[in-house]
């Protein structure tokens, strides 16, 4: 009798463990399915906006990265059910994690290669850094709000992005020791583009800045430095909207 009880006990324990494990697997599988659907939505939106983005479709590497990075690992627990909706989410401290479509365009605009070195100013949740890490070997990211920086570093580690260099501090002067960079993403924009960041951009490098308030990106600025060091900016509208159509 005792042995039967013992057996039943262990069967129950194993059952519970299997159940927990399978629910985790099911949840992961569900998240993966949602992520896949989200990437398809983003691809469709990029096609609709191709005229403004100057390209026909989203770069394959960028869409692969979006499909791979678990966005739900980078949002607060109460926002997890919405992690794969194409919208910005609050991450506390008055900050947001950008709309995935905007993350996709910003990443694509950088035109990164595997060997590139890229800097992100404003780590936020760490999601953008994780996407960058899928595309480039060297990713450096700075966050000024300490609790966010600590949380983002933990998120990155948990999601397996150990190679991302994180730092808590002021991003105005970039990351002098690691400069120059092939790409820079400034997600926490000040009243102007910091001159030191432009200086730390390699000739031929690209810098992307979203302009607008939290929850609302108005337009993207792509700053490029040509081989002669001449700096130009391109202002890109993330939606397909022309103020004037037809002949007038």
Partner 1 sequence: MKPRLSLLAAVAIISASALAYEVLLMRLFSIIQWHHFAYMIISLALLGYGISGVILALNRERLVQLFPPLIITNMLLFSCSAPMCFLLAQHIPFNPAEMLWTPVQLLNLCGIYLILALPFFFAANVVGLSLYHYKNQVSSIYAADLSGAGIGSVGIILLLSMLFPEKILTALMLSGVIAALLVSIYAFHDSKRWAVLCVIIGLAAILVPSGSIALKISPYKSLNQLLQVPGTKIIDRYSSPLGLIDVVKSEITPLRHAPGLSLNAIAEPPEQLAVFTDADNMTAITRYNGKPETVGYLDQTTSALPFHLKQLSGILILGAGTGSDILQANYHAVNDIDAVELNPQIVDLVQRKYADFAGYLYSSAHVNIHIDEARGYLAATDKTYDLINIPLLDAFGSSAAGLYSMAENYLYTEQSIREYLRHVRPNGYLSITRWIKIPPRDEPKLLATVINALKDANVRQPGQRILMIRGWQTSTLIAKNGIISAEEISRLKQFCDERGFDPVYYPGISESEVNRFNVQQQPYLYQAAVALLSDRSQAFIDAYKFNIEAATDDKPYLFHFFKWRTLPEILSLLGTGGSFLLESGYLLLIAALIQAILASLLLIALPLWLWKSKLGIEPGSGNHLPMLVYFFCLGLGFLFIEIAFIQKFILILHHPLYAITVVLSTFLLTAGAGSYFSTRLSQSAEKSAFMLPMATIALLSIVYSLGFEYIAGFLLKTGSLSHYLFSIVLIAPLGFCMGMPFPMALAKISQTNPALIPWAWGINGCASVISAILATLIAMQFGFTVLIFLAVVLYGIAAWCFPKLTQA
Residues within the interface to partner 1 (CB under 8 A): 45, 48-49, 51-52, 86-88, 90, 93-95, 99, 101-102, 144-146, 170, 172, 190-195, 198, 211-219, 221, 223, 231-246, 248
* Least spacing, CB of residue 147 vs partner 1, in Å: 9
Other Cβ atoms within 10 Å of 76 Cβ, number: 14
Minimum Å gap between C-beta 196 and partner 1 is 8
Nearer to partner 1, 59 or 143 (CB): 143
Compute the distance between CA of residue 77 and CA of residue 103 in angstroms, rounded to an integer: 21
Residue 29 Cβ, how far from partner 1 at the closest point, in Å?
26
**Cβ atoms within 10 Å, residue 79:** 18
Residue number, 110 or 136, with CB nearest to partner 1: 110
Question: Which is closer to partner 1, CB of 10 or CB of 172?
Answer: 172
DSSP 80: G
Q: Are 138 and 166 in contact (CB under 8 A)?
A: no
Rounded to whole angstroms, the Cα distance separating 203 from 1 reads 79
Q: Among residues 23, 63, 98, 125, which one is catalytic?
A: 98
Whether 189 contacts 206, CB under 8 Å: no
The residue among 160 and 203 lying less far from partner 1, judged by its C-beta, is 203
Name the DSSP letter for residue 228.
T
> How far is the C-alpha of 72 from the C-alpha of 80, rounded, in Å?
5
Helices and strands of the chain, counted as H and E runs: 7, 9
DSSP secondary structure code for residue 234 in this structure = E
What is the nearest approach in angstroms of partner 1 to the Cβ of residue 42?
9
Smaller CB distance to partner 1: residue 115 or 232?
232
Structure tokens at 35: 């992520």
Considering the complex, what minimum distance in angstroms separates the CB of residue 182 from partner 1? 18
End-to-end CA distance of the chain: 93
- Whether 57 is catalytic: no
Closest CA to 223 of 245, 191, 192: 192
Residues tagged active-site: 98
């Amino acid at each position: 009798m005792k042995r039967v009880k013992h057996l039943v006990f262990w069967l129950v324990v194993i059952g519970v463990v299997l159940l927990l494990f399978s629910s985790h697997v099911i949840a992961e599988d569900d998240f993966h399915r949602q992520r896949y659907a989200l990437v398809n939505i983003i691809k469709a939106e990029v096609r609709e906006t191709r005229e403004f983005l100057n390209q026909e479709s989203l770069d394959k590497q960028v869409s692969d990265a979006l499909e791979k990075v678990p966005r739900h690992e980078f949002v607060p627990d109460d926002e997890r059910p919405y992690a794969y909706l194409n919208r910005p989410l609050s991450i506390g401290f008055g900050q947001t994690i950008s709309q995935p479509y905007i993350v996709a365009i910003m990443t694509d605009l950088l035109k990164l290669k595997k060997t590139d070195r890229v800097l992100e100013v404003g780590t936020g949740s760490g999601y953008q850094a994780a996407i960058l890490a899928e595309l480039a070997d060297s990713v450096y990211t700075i966050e000024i709000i300490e609790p966010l920086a600590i949380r983002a570093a933990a998120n990155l580690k948990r999601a397996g992005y150990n190679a991302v260099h994180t730092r808590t501090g002021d991003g105005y002067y970039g990351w002098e020791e690691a400069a120059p960079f092939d790409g820079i993403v400034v997600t926490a924009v000040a009243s102007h583009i910091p001159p030191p960041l432009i200086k730390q951009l390699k000739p031929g490098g690209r810098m992307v800045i979203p302009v607008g308030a939290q929850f609302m990106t108005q337009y993207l600025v792509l700053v490029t430095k040509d081989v002669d060091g001449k700096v130009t900016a391109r202002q890109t509208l993330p939606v397909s909207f022309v103020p004037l159509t037809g002949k007038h």
